[in-house]
Structures are given as C-alpha cells and as structure tokens.
Amino acid sequence: MNSTVSIPDISNRFFLLKCFMVILVLVFLGLFPFVSDNRFYISLITEMMIYGLLAMSLDVLLGYTGLLSFMHNTYMGICAYAVGLFLIHISPESLWLACIAGIVFTSLVALPVGWVQVRTGGLAFALLTLAFGMMFYTIVWKWYALTGGDDGLMGMPNPDITLFGWHLGNSGNPTTIYLFTLIIVTICFFLTRRIINSPFGAVLEAIRENEDRAAFIGINVRRYKLLGWMLACILASIAGALFILYKGYIGPSTMSAFAGAGVLMMVLLGGMGSLWGAFAGAVIFIYIQDYISTMTEHWEIFLGLFVIFLVLFLPTGFAGLGDYFKRFRKA
C-alpha cells in the first residue's frame, strides 16, 4: 500500500501549484454562498464538507494507521446526539459549550472501546468495530425516552454562533452554518495534516507498514494505535457536532452499518493515505448516491458494481489517479 502523501517536499516543483490550488478552492468555497442563492446547493456542499471531515478521520485510522473500521460513523453519531441532547435539555444557547461537551463525551466513550480494540489488529479489529458499532446503534435505537428511537432527536434549537461576544449569525441560517463548517473543517484539515506530517504521523505509518518491525525498534505499538484511534474519533466527533448543527436533526440511521459502509467507500474512492483524497471521495460518493438513487430504485445494484469495479481496477482511488498520470508521463 503506497501512500501518495508523505512529508512535504518543499523543493517539489508541484508544491507551489498545490498551494495555489488549495487557496483557489478555499476562496471559491468561501465565496460560493454569496454567488449562488440556491439553498439546496449550499446545503449539499455543507454536507459534503462534513462527510469529508468524517472520511478524513477514517483515513487517519485506515490510511495512516492501517486499522480498518466498519462503523466509524458511530462516533460522529454519538457526538451529534450528545450535542443535540445538551442543547435541548441543558442549555439551548451555548453552542460552543455543547460542542465541547459532545466531543469530550464521545472521547470518553471512544477511549475504553479503543483500548479493547487495539489489542487486536487487522480483521479482528475491523469486526470489533462492527460489533461495538452495532451495540451503540442498538442502544441509541432502543432508548426511545432519551434519543427518540427510530424517530430521531426532535426539537433541536438553533443557537446563535458567537465568538468572543461577536455575533456571527444564527446556526439555522444555511449560509452561516456553511461558512462555520468551512472554517472548522479547514482548520481541522490543516491541523491533521500537520500531525500526520510530524514524527507522530511517521510512527503511525510505520505501524501500518509492519507492526512487528515497529515493535522491534521500540515503538509502543498499542499506545500509538490507541492515539491514532483517539485522533480519528475526535475528528469524527467534530464532524458529528457540525452535522447536528447543520441538519438540526439526528437519527439512528446515521449510525447504521449501512452508513458506516458509506464512509468506508468514501475513503476508498478518494484513496487511502491521502487526506484531501478523503474529501474528494466524500464529494464523489454523495453525488453518486444522490444521483443514482434519484434515477432508479435499483441503485443498490449499481452501487455494488461500482464498488467491485473500484476495488478491482482502481484501488488507490481518486488520489491515486495522480500516480497513474505520473507513471504515464514517465513512460
């Protein structure tokens, strides 16, 4: 498994181009809601950004640490419920407090689960994520009094977003939440990139490549796996907080095995081991799923064929296409 992104090579002649592209994309995204008033597209891009963040968090786990999780969306869901419940029952106005409470709560849940899971690796780890994911899903689904069960969390308020006393807007406003999401996601992206490109990230990649060897050179494999897991879960919980603020609603379907598979597809589509690839994967996946499900009620057949095709012929995903081109040019 080759990663397509590693320590940034400043001397790389593409580096300036990449920087320029990134700035261009951010500017475009930032100006978008002011150019187009179409609420549907604003919401769609917000959703893509949130799922992109979730996909990126799974990529940290899968692409960098080498641990497969079938239901990473579980932690996004738990945080979304936590934030929602906090806003509904405790304090409808304190947005930041709710988010922090949600992230902390989710981390507290993810920690023991992670501790149990990192004692294994590979397939066993993946199945454990499925098992725990189903457990949380079932708890949320059944606990009608708290979570509203199948109907989901109702009555979410729309608190205002204030930063240091400066009123930025109301979270019910699609443009406000779009910009808020854009900023948070961008910050997370660059932070994650920084972490991945640090020695810590290198250790994670070492574990992914060969666990035993990493242990031989003195790395505490279990501890680093757990840290990688926690990083991924924290990012997922941020995505969850953004999700419920954006949607105003959370239901158990977001925490289901089916949705978990969706996140996995996004990472695969975008290319494992590439952070921005995860975003690309999310965009493509959401678009395709929406497009295909509108066209035909038999979209599952196409989704299945698509995945099979992808795995057989394009395992490095979207980000890996760059490699293909490079190879092409050299030949």
Partner 1 sequence: MKKIVTISLGLMMVFSLLASQQVFAKDPVKIGVLVPLTGIVAQGGLEMKMGIEMAAKEKGTILGRPIELYVEDTQVKPPVAVSKAEKLVYKDGCKALIGVFSSGVGLALAANIDKLNVPFLTTHVMTTEFYGIHPLVFRSGQLANDQTAVGNVKGILARPDLKEKTYYVLVHDYAWGHDAGQRFIDLAKENGIKIYNEDYDKAPISTKDWSSYISKIKASGVDGVYIAFITNVIPVFAKQMSDFGLQDKVKTISAAAPGPLELEAGGEACYGIFGASDWSWDVDTPESNDWEMRFWEAYKTIPSDAAAHSYVGAMNLFNGIEKAGSTDAEAIAKALKGISFDGPYGNVRISPKDNCMRNSAVLTETMAAPENPFGAKVTMKVLHTFTAEELGPPE
Partner 2 sequence: MNIFIQIQRTGNLIMSGIFSTIIDLLLNSLVLSGVFLIVAIGLNIIYGLSRIMNMGHGALYAVGAYIGYSLVAAGVNYFAAILITPLLVGGIGLLIERSIILPMRKRSMVYTLILTYGLMFFLDGMIKLIWGNTPRFVELPAFMQGMISIFGTQYPVYRLMTIFLIAAIMIGLMLLLNKTKAGIIMRAASTIPEMVSCLGVNMGYVHMGAFMLGCAMAGAAGIIAGPLTTIDPLMGGEMLISSFVVVVIGGLGSLRGAVIAAILIGFVQTFTEFFITDLAMVIVYIMMAVILAFMPRGLLGEGRFE
Chain residues that interact with partner 2, rule: CB under 8 A: 1, 62, 68, 116-117, 119-120, 122-124, 126-128, 130-132, 134-135, 138-139, 142, 257-258, 261, 264-265, 268, 297-308, 310-312, 315
Q: Of 196, 162, 190, 185, which is closest to residue 236 (Cα–Cα)?
A: 185
176 binds, among partner 1, partner 2, none (CB under 5 to 8 A by kind): partner 1
Q: Based on CB atoms, which residue is closest to partner 2, 159 or 262?
A: 262
At its nearest, how many Å lie between partner 1 and the CB of residue 174?
A: 8
Residue 5, Ramachandran bin (φ over 0: left; ψ between -120 and 50: alpha; else beta): beta
132 binds, among partner 2, partner 1, none (CB under 5 to 8 A by kind): partner 2
Give the Cα separation of 244 and 235 in Å (integer): 15
**Binding of partner 1 at residue 250 (CB under 8 A)?**
yes
38 binds, among partner 2, partner 1, none (CB under 5 to 8 A by kind): partner 1
Residue 251, Ramachandran bin (φ over 0: left; ψ between -120 and 50: alpha; else beta): beta
Residue from 14, 96, 144, 287 binding partner 1 (CB under 8 A): 144
Binding window for partner 1 (CB under 8 A); candidates: 60-68, 137-145, 234-242, 309-317: 137-145
At its nearest, how many Å lie between partner 2 and the CB of residue 120?
A: 5
Q: Based on CB atoms, which residue is closest to partner 1, 113 or 236?
A: 236
User: Rounded to the nearest 5°, which phi and psi values hold at 165?
Assistant: 80, 0
**Binding of partner 1 at residue 170 (CB under 8 A)?**
no
Mode of pairing for the β-strands spanning 166-170 and 160-163: antiparallel
Q: Based on CB atoms, which residue is closest to partner 2, 137 or 276?
A: 137
Taking every pair of C-alpha atoms in the chain, what is the biggest distance, in angstroms? 63
123 binds, among partner 2, partner 1, none (CB under 5 to 8 A by kind): partner 2
Handedness of CA 55, 327, 194, 188 (dihedral sign): negative
Give the Cα separation of 257 and 202 in Å (integer): 31
Q: Which of residues 295-324 bind partner 1 (CB under 8 A)?
A: 297
Residue 143 DSSP one-character state: -
Q: Is residue 303 a contact partner of residue 292, using CB atoms and an 8 Å limit? A: yes
Give the Cα separation of 132 and 311 in Å (integer): 26
Q: What angle separates helix 73-85 from helix 122-142, to the nearest 10 degrees?
A: 30
**Binding of partner 1 at residue 92 (CB under 8 A)?**
no
Q: Is residue 240 a contact partner of residue 83, using CB atoms and an 8 Å limit? A: yes
Q: Is residue 193 a contact partner of residue 274, using CB atoms and an 8 Å limit? A: no
**Binding of partner 1 at residue 145 (CB under 8 A)?**
no
Q: Which of residues 193-212 bind partner 1 (CB under 8 A)?
A: none
Q: Based on CB atoms, which residue is closest to partner 2, 215 or 314?
A: 314
Q: Based on CB atoms, which residue is closest to partner 1, 40 or 164?
A: 40
Distances 67 to 24, 43, 171, 279, 313 between C-alpha atoms, Å: 33, 32, 35, 19, 22
Binding region for partner 1 (CB under 8 A) = 33-34, 37-41, 43, 47, 141-142, 144, 149-152, 154-155, 167-169, 172, 174-176, 247-251, 253-254, 290, 293-294, 297
